[in-house]
Every structure is written in structure tokens, then in C-alpha cells.
Amino acid sequence: MKENICLQDIIKDTVGFSLSGSCSSPNLLLPTENIYIYADKGQISQVFQNLVINASQAMPNGGSVEISIEKVDVTTNHTLPLHPGEYFCISVSDQGVGINAEDQKNIFDPYFSTENTGRGLGLATVHSVIKNHGGHVLLESSSPQGSVFKVFLPNSETSTSKSNSKGNVLVMDDDLGIRELVNEILNQEMYNVLLCKNGEEALEAFNKKHNTKDEFDFVLLDLTIPGGMGGLETLKRLSKIDPNIKAIVASGYADDSVLANFRDHGFIGMVKKPFCAKDLLKTIEEVKHIKG
């Protein structure tokens, strides 16, 4: 859920945790005056965690991860793909091995990784979350002496992601990879996305949003959650909060009776896993105008 949060506090908490146990150390060059942004605290923490971990991994023998903040006034003549207004530019620098020119073209793509053990979702998540917050992220430079990533986030007054959004979506799935993939797909289509790993988290998030001007337009629920509340029970409880809820069910079990008869169980759409962006967006377009 988006709220006004202190940018310095997020960075300090995240950097210390991310570098714990590594050979790298933080060098924080932060303004003493508190800076506030309108953002989802958990998602922004994830952004800086991913960037700091990437920076640390680029320095196998250790080094300094430097983070600084400066104000940037974006005008109509500015080259950045941002709406005019005041932004905060957060630079994350390392002293690592750098990223070659060919890899730089793909670093924000889902599942692209320069690490043999990487899943390729870290920078894709950074890109989608920042875009969802009305900002922009770029790799400013990279050489054998290190790399510099720059994150641009609007201040509370400039924030434009809400006005440009197609709507709010709650996504529940126990698989982190699927949550991040759906997040990337929907962010690209200008939806605001909140991710949950089980029904308990979904209920809490839905309750907080209900009866606000910023409530969820629809929910995407995974049918089966091992060790947790799955989509069917979650929808029953969500329907008690909002009888007009619009819900899409997702499942990897193609022969499941709930998937075959999803309307009988209160869902208005369904997607079979594994699904691609085209499948998901087609289902969303089909159900968007159905009355809940």
C-alpha cells in the first residue's frame, strides 16, 4: 500500500540488511533533511535491496557500495521519460567488474542474468516497481572500475503514477517467480500491483483498501497454496467484505473442477498456468467490464 515514507530511512534499513555477511561496506551520502515519497514501503525496500545485492556481487573481493541522493527538476525539455516536476535521483555505485555493452541492452529484461546462479528477476523487478511509482531507472555508466545505477522517484507532490494507472490489482501466488512475472506484465500495462503469497496476506491487504477511493479493481488468485489459504477460500472471505469483487482464478491443474467451472465458484475469469503475457492480458480485457 502506498503512503508517505521517508526515503533515507528505507535506504538505511535496506542497505544494512542487504550487506550483512558480505565483504562490502556501505557509504551513504544522504541529506540530513528528511525526504518523503509517496510509495509502497515493501516494494521500494525490494528495489534497493536488489540494487545493493547486485553491487555487492559485482565486487567478489569486497568494496564500497555508495548511495547518494540529489534533487532533479524535470522540465518538458528534459530527456528523461518522466512527467515534469521535482524528483529525487538515488545513485547506487559500486567498484566492481562492470557490465559489458551487449549485456547492458538486456539488464532490465525478465529472466536475463549475468550470473550463472541468477534467476534474472532482480533488475526486472526494480524496473517494474519504479515505473509503477511514476519514476525511472537507468544504468548511467559501467566500466571495469564499477557501475552506477540511477533511480528517479517523484516527491509526494509530483507523484503521477496514480493518475496514469489503469487500476489497482491484488495478485496472490505462493511462487515468487510467478508473482514477479505478473508484476512485470501488469506494470508494463500501467496497473498498480500489490503482491501477496497467501490468502491471509490477501485478506489483510484487501481489508485495508476496501471503502477507500483507491480500492482494488480486481484480484488474481492462485487456486492452490501449499500450507496456506488458497484461492477458493480466499475468494469466499473476500466476498464477505465486498460482494461485488471481481476475481480471476489461476491454476496449473488444467483438469481441476474449479477451473473448469470457475463461474460457479464466484470467479469471473480464469488463466491456466503456465501463462504468457498475452493470455493474462486477454483474460483481463474480457473481465474488466463485467459487473462484479
Buried (b) or exposed (e) across 230-253, using 16+ Cβ within 10 A? bbbebbeebeeebeebbbbbbbee
Give the residue with greater pLDDT, 106 vs 231: 231
Least confident of 95-99, 104-108, 273-277: 104-108
User: Would you say residue 159 has pLDDT above 60?
Assistant: no
Tell me the domain boundaries of the chain: 2-154, 165-287
Q: How confident is the model at residue 292 (pLDDT cuts 50, 70, 90)?
A: low
- Tens digits of per-residue pLDDT, 175-204? 988 888 888 888 778 787 888 899 999 998
Mean pLDDT of 214-238: 91
* The 3-state secondary structure of the chain, one letter per residue: CEEEEEHHHHHHHHHHHHCCCCCCEEEEECCCCCCEEEEEHHHHHHHHHHHHHHHHHCCCCCCEEEEEEEEEEECCCCCCCCCCEEEEEEEEECCCCCCCHHHHCCCCCCCCCCCCCCCCCHHHHHHHHHHHCCCEEEEEEEECCEEEEEEEEECCCCCCHHHHCCEEEEEECCCHHHHHHHHHHHHHCCEEEEEECCHHHHHHHHHHHCCCCCCCCEEEEECCCCCCCCHHHHHHHHHHHCCCCCEEEEECCCCCHHHHCHHHHCCCEEEECCCCHHHHHHHHHHHCCCCC
The rounded percent of the chain whose pLDDT value lies above 70 is 88
Give the residue with greater pLDDT, 281 vs 100: 281
Mean pLDDT of 42-67: 92
Q: How confident is the model at residue 162 (pLDDT cuts 50, 70, 90)?
A: very low
CATH superfamily of 165-287: Response regulator (3.40.50.2300)
User: Would you say residue 1 has pLDDT above 70?
Assistant: no
Q: What is the pLDDT of residue 75?
A: 80
- Tens digits of per-residue pLDDT, 121-142? 478 889 888 988 889 999 987 8
Q: Is 111 exposed, middle or buried (0-12, 13-18, 19+ CB in 10 A)?
A: middle
Q: What is the pLDDT of residue 187?
A: 75
Q: What is the pLDDT of residue 109?
A: 65
Give the residue with greater pLDDT, 62 vs 113: 62
Number of Cα atoms under 13 Å in the Cβ half of residue 125: 24
Q: What is the pLDDT of residue 69?
A: 96
Hey, which residues does 170 pair with through a beta bridge?
Answer: 194, 219
Provide the CATH topology of domain 2-154.
Answer: Heat Shock Protein 90 (3.30.565)
